[in-house]
């Protein structure tokens, strides 16, 4: 009996020690470098803003936040790496609405976005802009639609990969305008952008944050932006809605997630720090010039936002008939 009492007391001591150690680890998070996996190629919006957020989080929390680009398979490779990482807050995912699209576009994935990830916080959103190479004989949206209808399947559009906002913006345009375009997926937006600029591909939807300078330099022709209101970076350019495709709305948004099971205290701490960063006056001013709009939400609100976006794109994938190429 004495032995059993001693064993019980020892067990309780171990449980208490582990509980205390876990609480200490969460309270002192982070106490070593944190990795942010970006499942997209370098130089795109996700990569650029991941590096921006990494530096700000490092400044705020006193530990390195290191960006690790792992593109491929329409973001699935890098996303899966995070899903399988330890749920300790030291491996994070910079995600976009690519992930919410892929839930319905690519159902046979090795992970489930809702079950295998813990949403932390959104970062920002930006409009896309439809651009065409100068060789395309269209200067506005109506001319482009007329040209495409007169030449079925002659024209193509580039994207940064299956399921990305660039891809889905193109599929939505095809469906709503009643035209045929051939989708050419790339491994990243940089390659797609380069081939549109060179004339290897006719057009693409690209983030305003990365394409606006090429439009201003007349390297491509800007046709229309994709948000509900005009972009403050391209105020003279009409929206798709204004230009003749009513109810069109497609943006790119970014956010951070962690593996499911990451302690709530760590998720809450990261959420609070990210909200401080995106709500700071200097960040708002800097991003406004780039065409990016900060997004700020609590963990529960962002969790619902992600689930709602999954449902939204599932419907668009269904009605548009979009498929991975």
Q: What's the rounded Cα separation, in Å, for the pair 51 and 35?
A: 11
pLDDT attached to residue 10: 54
CB-based contact 114:307 (threshold 8 Å): yes
* Global model pTM greater than 0.75: yes
CA distances from 110 to 95, 113, 116, 193, 209 (A): 16, 10, 10, 30, 32
Q: What's the rounded Cα separation, in Å, for the pair 53 and 37?
A: 12
Q: Please give the average pLDDT of every successive group of 10 residues along the chain, which has 325 residues.
A: 56 51 70 97 93 98 98 92 98 96 93 97 97 98 98 94 92 95 92 96 95 96 96 96 94 97 98 98 95 97 97 89 81
Of the candidates 252, 137, 247, 248, the residue with the CA atom closest to the CA atom of residue 203: 137
Q: What's the rounded Cα separation, in Å, for the pair 36 and 57?
A: 11
Report the largest interatomic distance among the alpha carbons of the chain, rounded to a whole angstrom. 92
CA angle 165, 289, 286 (to 5 degrees): 100
In 3-state terms the chain splits into helix, strand, coil percentages (rounded to 5) of 50, 20, 30
CB-based contact 309:255 (threshold 8 Å): no
**Residue 132's Cα: distance from chain center in Å?**
23
Q: Which helix (H) or strand (E) holds 102?
A: helix 97-105
Q: What is the DSSP letter of 237?
A: S
Domains and CATH numbers, the chain: 32-125+252-320 (3.40.190.150), 127-243 (3.40.190.10)
CB-based contact 125:251 (threshold 8 Å): yes
Q: What is the pLDDT of residues 160-218, one digit of tens each?
A: 988 999 999 999 999 999 999 999 999 888 999 999 999 999 999 999 999 999 999 99
pLDDT attached to residue 169: 95
Kindly provide the residue ranges of all beta strands, DSSP E only, lying in the chain, ordered along the sequence: 34-38, 65-69, 91-96, 117-132, 156-159, 182-185, 203-207, 221-225, 251-259, 292-294
């Amino acid at each position: 009996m004495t032995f059993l009492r001693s064993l019980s007391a020892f067990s309780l001591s171990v449980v208490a020690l582990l509980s205390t150690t876990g609480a200490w680890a969460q309270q002192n998070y982070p106490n070593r470098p944190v990795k942010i996996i970006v499942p997209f190629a370098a130089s795109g919006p996700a990569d650029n803003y991941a590096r921006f957020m990494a530096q700000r989080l490092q400044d705020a929390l006193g530990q390195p936040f290191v960006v690790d680009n792992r593109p491929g398979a329409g973001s699935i490779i890098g996303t899966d790496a995070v899903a399988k990482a330890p749920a300790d807050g030291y491996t994070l995912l910079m995600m976009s609405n690519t992930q919410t699209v892929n839930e319905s576009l690519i159902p046979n994935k090795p992970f489930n976005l809702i079950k295998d990830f813990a949403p932390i916080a959104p970062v920002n959103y930006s409009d896309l802009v439809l651009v065409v190479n100068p060789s395309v004989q269209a200067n506005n949206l109506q001319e482009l639609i007329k040209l495409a209808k007169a030449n079925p399947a002659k024209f193509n559009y580039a994207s940064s990969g299956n399921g990305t906002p660039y891809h889905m913006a193109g599929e939505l345009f095809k469906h709503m305008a009643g035209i045929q375009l051939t989708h050419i997926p790339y491994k990243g937006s940089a390659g797609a952008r380069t081939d549109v600029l060179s004339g290897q591909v006719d057009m693409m939807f690209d983030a305003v944050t990365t394409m606006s300078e090429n439009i201003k330099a007349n390297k491509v022709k800007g046709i229309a932006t994709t948000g509900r209101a005009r972009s403050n970076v391209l105020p003279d350019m009409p929206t798709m809605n204004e230009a003749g495709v009513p109810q069109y709305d497609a943006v790119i948004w970014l956010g951070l997630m962690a593996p499911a099971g990451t302690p709530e205290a760590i998720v809450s701490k990261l959420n609070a720090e990210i909200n401080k960063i995106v709500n700071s006056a200097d960040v708002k001013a800097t991003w406004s010039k780039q065409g990016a709009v900060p997004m700020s939400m609590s963990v529960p609100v962002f969790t619902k936002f992600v689930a709602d976006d999954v449902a939204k794109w599932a419907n668009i994938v269904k009605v548009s008939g979009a498929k991975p190429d």
